Structure 1
Amino acid sequence: MNRSSFVLLVALLATGSILGLSGCIGGDEGGAPAPKAAGVTVAGSTTVMPLVEAAAEEFNRIQKEVRVSVTGGGTGVGIKNVAGGTADIAMASRDVKPEEIAAYGDGFQEHLVAYDAIAVVVSQPIYEGGITDLSREEVLAIYSGDITNWKGLGGPDERIYVAAREVGSGTRDTFNEMVMGTVEAETPGVTTYHGSNAEVKTAVTGSSRAIGYLGLNYLEGGALRAVALGGVTPSPETIKDGQYPLSRALKLYTFGDPAPGAEKFIDFLQSAEGQRIVAESGFVPV
């Protein structure tokens, strides 16, 4: 360093002006860092989860202001978490129950995103053995334990393996209400209970004599077939017009007005692009 440079440095130190150079020495040439993205947590129904995961992936890709994360747990868990403030949005395959409103308050706000159906499925050998259409009364008799062999329904001489969802599942509640007559119905005919649609699918595809129920979007792949109910098969047309008896609406719930980030994601799901993802995920757009 020559004498003139040394004199200048001393002068700057004396006046405090050297601090003004800090932005030029090792500073961020791009200016202030970008603001941190707002986090939005979504929890609940495993039926709705594949749709919301696909939407969240696209939503997170096209913008940087909001980051959405998704977990399952079942409709009941989602509703409890959104009411308790540990989730911003609940995924639900049923309406909020009166007892949930009594427990958590009446602040739930409903946001319709898709239509779905509960498909009653059987193992491929059972379908090929002649069980392609069941009445509601026959399904009820199976889950009640009154019919235990497929032979009694015109099928193979095989004991029926009956799969169902665990307590807390919105799919279970809808099935019980629509088929068994009440959400709290006993189902003594059930062989095993499962925590998700995927587990029911695995149980039915892994057996040669099973029956189960699951969300429509889980029908792809695997050695299982959806049977008609009362002569009506589940399809986009029969689901949306209500002909198929196990049709239902899929919803997101917030507790009170959604936060800006949550509202932005809900708006995306209800937009034309979001509804395209609904259809691609195997559900019926609203």
Structure 2
Amino acid sequence: MSIKSRSAIAGVLLVAFLIATQGAAALKVSGSTTVLPFGSVAAEEFNAAQSGIHVSVSGGGSGVGIKNVAAGISDIAMASRHVRDSEREANPDKEFVEHLVAYDAICIAVSKAVYDAGVTDLTIEDVRAIYNGEIKNWAQLGGENKDIYVLAREVGSGTRDTFNEMVMGSDKAETPGVTTNHGSNAEVKTALTRSDKAIGYLGLNYVQDGNLGVIALDGVVPTVSTVRDGSYPLARELFFVTYGEPDDEAATFLEFVTGGDGQAIADELAFVPIN
């Protein structure tokens, strides 16, 4: 197909999009890259099902989403952690309202080469020692004689905060063993697949395709079942957050996300439904 033909098709699609969304109320959602796959698909299905509200979704991290709703840039924040006291204190005009939309797990994953070499089960103490810099070689954990390449998330990530709180003992914990920090779950996954000696943490949705070695933590593998029954130790709640009570448009989308259709999407994407 020629460039001219592709341009013509793109123009037709743009016009169709503008016609379809003309007059629709705009609802902006931003935040957690963990929640992003769920939020994006839910928005697509919601937009297709009605024409009165058009939802757009972007990432940036839980902290960014929470700042955006407080500033009026977004209507809903996606968050993989609770709103912090410091965030509430910095924005005293209204109350942040957390709306539970799904459950998830922080999964500990390693490069396939590490997993195939025999490192398939770690304790929380092992993981803490890796991120503290006390364990630096896979041979110390029954693997090959390779330095451990330690991946973490950047400041502002709800997944980072929850990992630090659950594993390291505080969401402000230092992690001197970390080699590189990454901006999203997808970046962590890419780094894991490109290495033969890495470890990282990421959401359950990102470990479903078999390209990573998913570690059993204290003998429990992260699955929908072990998150639901509470046996996996790094299970967590996922939220949509509004600054004050949601307006009519946000409430309508929240009703969709937490209802049967939205929760079916969560289930299909390997999140754990709330019902």
The corresponding residue for 1:184 is 172
Over residues 231-255 of structure 1, what are the superposed CA-to-partner deviations in whole Å (9 max), with x where a residue is unaligned? 0111112112221111001010011
Measured on the aligned residues, the alpha-carbon RMSD in Å equals: 1.1
AA in 1 matched with 2:122: L
- Three-state SS of the structure 2 residue aligned to 1:125 is helix
> Relative to structure 2, which stretch is displaced further, 166-175 or 97-106?
97-106
Over residues 56-86 of structure 1, what are the superposed CA-to-partner deviations in whole Å (9 max), with x where a residue is unaligned? 0000001000000001000000001101111
Runs of 5+ in structure 2 lacking a partner?
Answer: 1-20
CA distance in 2, matches of 1:203, 1:222: 15
Contact map agreement 2:224 2:270 (CA 8 A) in 1 = no
Q: Does 1:119 align with 2:107?
A: yes
AA in 1 matched with 2:83: V
CA distance in 1, matches of 2:244, 2:150: 40
Q: Please state how far the C-alpha of 1:35 moved relative to its aligned partner.
A: 7.2
Over residues 127-175 of structure 1, what are the superposed CA-to-partner deviations in whole Å (9 max), with x where a residue is unaligned? 1111110000000000010000000011111110000000000000000
Identity across matched positions, percent: 58
Q: Does 1:98 align with 2:85?
A: yes
AA in 2 matched with 1:62: A
Moved over 2 A (4+): 220-223
The corresponding residue for 2:41 is 54
- Three-state SS of the structure 1 residue aligned to 2:230 is coil
CA distance in 1, matches of 2:91, 2:58: 21
Superposed, 1:28-177 pairs within 5 Å as: 36-105=23-92, 107-177=95-165
TM-score (normalised: structure 1): 0.87
Contact map agreement 2:32 2:62 (CA 8 A) in 1 = yes
Of 194, 208, 212, the residue aligned with 1:224 is 212
Q: Please state how far the C-alpha of 1:107 moved relative to its aligned partner.
A: 1.0
CA distance in 2, matches of 1:67, 1:77: 21
Q: Max radius of gyration: which structure? A: 1
Of 166, 189, 201, the residue aligned with 2:189 is 201
Contact map agreement 1:205 1:222 (CA 8 A) in 2 = no
How many pairs are equivalent?
253
